[in-house]
Structure 1
Amino acid sequence: MLKAERHTYIMTKLDAEQRVSTIDLAHELGISEDSVRRDLNKLHEKRFLEKVYGGAIPISEKNKSVFDIQIVNESKKKEIGVKALTLLNDGQVIIMSGGTTNLVFSKLIPPLLKATIYTYSLPIAMQLSQYPNIDLIFIGGKMQKNAMVTIGIDVLQVLAKIKADICFMGVSSIDSRQGLTEMGYEVSIVKKAMIESSEKVICMFTSDKLNTRKPHVVCELNKLDTIITDLPEDDESLIEFKKSGIKIL
């Protein structure tokens, strides 16, 4: 039997039984188990099936949308988003960074809010595109695929021309001494530009981001106006931030 015929046989059997065994396939196809494993490896590489110990199973969630984003600590991020809603007003010019906290927040925005919102996050732009009274400007540029945000000189040039009332900034790491930091250099540069283009900067993050550091500095605490977390504002872990003059929600 030719290799293409074997592959067709394997996929047909997998479709019918939802699992195939290396030993069974070797017996049915009259070839060695090593040959079957090579066939399964090839089909796995092509994303036709998922190779597992002793055989193979169908690809899980094969047709899952790229926008079906898994959100960790979603309930905490909803709590943060509800607090942030108090800062929204009709007529504002808003900048929103990426991140799942801002994505959750964008889903909570009142449907009839009248505002202009700039974002470099593709998932957030897709969410905000559903709001009839929001003038949405997606800032195009080179796509950073893992985070689905744009980066580079094109993004910086657009941000340099914006005069925003408020910036809702997602946070990777925040420390009372180091300020905001990011893992990626290019994202840190874009966030710096967002801050410079905004009258007020609102940082939103879950408490696990507190007192952590990443390699690239975004800004010191004196650049921030408000931080919003899932913690009560009188939590002792926020004392140093209060001392710096930042408002806590």
Structure 2
Amino acid sequence: MLKAQRHSYIMEKLRAEQKVVTTDLAVDLDLSEDTVRRDLNELDRKKLLKKVYGGALLIKERSSNTFNVHISAEEKKEKIVIKALSLLHDDQVIIMSGGTTNLVFAKFIPEHLKLTIYTYSLPIAMQLSKLPNIELILIGGKMQKSAMVTIGIDVIQVLSKIRADICFIGASSINVKQGLTEVGYEVSVVKKAMIASSDKVVSMFTSNKLNTKMPHGVCELQELDTIVTELDPDDDRLEKYRKTGIKIL
């Protein structure tokens, strides 16, 4: 089992039971206790759990966010973003779109990472502002109040001058034929610009977005490097996506 999968299992068990025991995890995962302790220590350093003697406890205050934005299916989204953390390392330049999955992701980014992050989402920017080692750039423009994101030509112009390592882009809908699609035209245009400015594109979304379609196209599936869902990468629901060659976490 890959480390990201182990971490996902540990966090899922924590959410269900509020605590985990090292010896029990070793049996469940068929690993040595030393390996489990290393996993727990790593998750503790990332402030995803509280390591205690013999196991770990859930950190419940993680659910808070600056704007008290309602986050549906939050446990699924936490499972997604824990997988995606493996894609981060120091000195990256990152673009983050809006959406509640990216908001959860912002809450889980480890404090020690040194990153430059551009975003057009006010809630995500406020969440990232709590991290001491993040150089944060909020892209200004016309505010779409319903989603608390900036849109328009000013945003496009800023994005056109960025060269990012990774774009973490939310998905309203995704399917094999149409790729990513959006409900709103202006947001779809901004997301196209984000993709054009990034070396790699990662889309994180819950599995209910699979095989659905919205009116406005964002990109073809082949323009994505990686997709991340709460499902096991070998799940049958992802078979059509695996066949395209896209990386699945």
TM-score by length of 2: 0.73
Residues 38-75 of structure 1: CA distance to partner in whole angstroms, max 9, x if unpaired?
Answer: xxxxxxxxxxxxxxxxxxxxxxxxxxx98111110000
RMSD: 1.0
4+ residue runs of structure 1 moved beyond 4 angstroms?
Answer: none
Which residue type is aligned with residue 115 of structure 1? L
Which letter does structure 2 place at the counterpart of 1:197?
A: S
The whole-number CA distance in structure 1 between the counterparts of 2:238 and 2:137 is 34
TM alignment of 1:41-190, pairs within 5 A: 67-190=67-190
Q: In the TM superposition, what whole-angstrom CA distance separates every residue of 1:22-53 from its partner, at most 9, and x where no partner exists?
A: xxxxxxxxxxxxxxxxxxxxxxxxxxxxxxxx
Cα distance in 2 for residues equivalent to 1:117 and 1:100: 17
Question: What code does the residue aligned with 2:126 have?
Answer: M
Largest Rg, 1 or 2:
1
Letter in 2 for 1:73: A
* Aligned counterpart, 1:203: 203
Rounded to whole Å, the distance in 1 between the matches of 2:128 and 2:241 is: 31
Matches within 5 A, 1:10-29: none
Instruction: Tell me if the contact between 2:184 and 2:216 (Cα under 8 Å) persists in the aligned partners.
Output: yes
Shift of 1:239: 1.1
Aligned residues: percent identity? Answer: 70
TM-score by length of 1: 0.73
Unaligned runs of 5+ in 2: 1-64
Q: Which amino acid aligns with 1:148?
A: M
Counterpart amino acid of residue 164 in structure 2: A
Determine the C-alpha separation between the residues in 2 that align with 1:159 and 1:90.
Answer: 21
Q: Would you say the 8 A contact 2:66–2:126 is kept in 1?
A: no
In 2, the alpha carbon distance for the partners of 1:239 and 1:159 equals 34
Number of residues of Structure 1 aligned to a counterpart in Structure 2: 185
Aligned to 1:233: 233
> What are the superposed Cα offsets for residues 159-215 of structure 1, whole Å, 9 maximum, x if unpaired?
000000001111100011110000000000000000000000000000010011000
* Partner-residue secondary structure (3-state), 2:113: coil
CA gap 1:88/1:66 in 2 versus in 1, 3 angstroms: closer
Structure 1 letter corresponding to 2:163: K
DSSP 3-state at the match of 1:86: helix
CA distance in 2, matches of 1:239, 1:220: 17
Gaps of 5+ in 1: 1-64
Q: CA deviation at 1:83?
A: 0.3
How far apart, CA to CA, are the structure 1 residues paired with 2:191 and 2:144? 14
What one-letter code is carried by the residue in structure 2 that aligns with 1:80? I
Q: Match for residue 218 of structure 2? A: 218
Partner Cα distance (2:97, 2:106) in 1: 11
Query: Structure 2 counterpart of 1:92, which letter?
Result: Q
Give the AA of the match of 1:86: S
Deviations 1:217-247 (A, max 9, x none): 0000110000000110011111111111100
Matched letter for residue 117 of structure 2: I
Shift of 1:77: 0.2
Match of 2:11 in 1: none
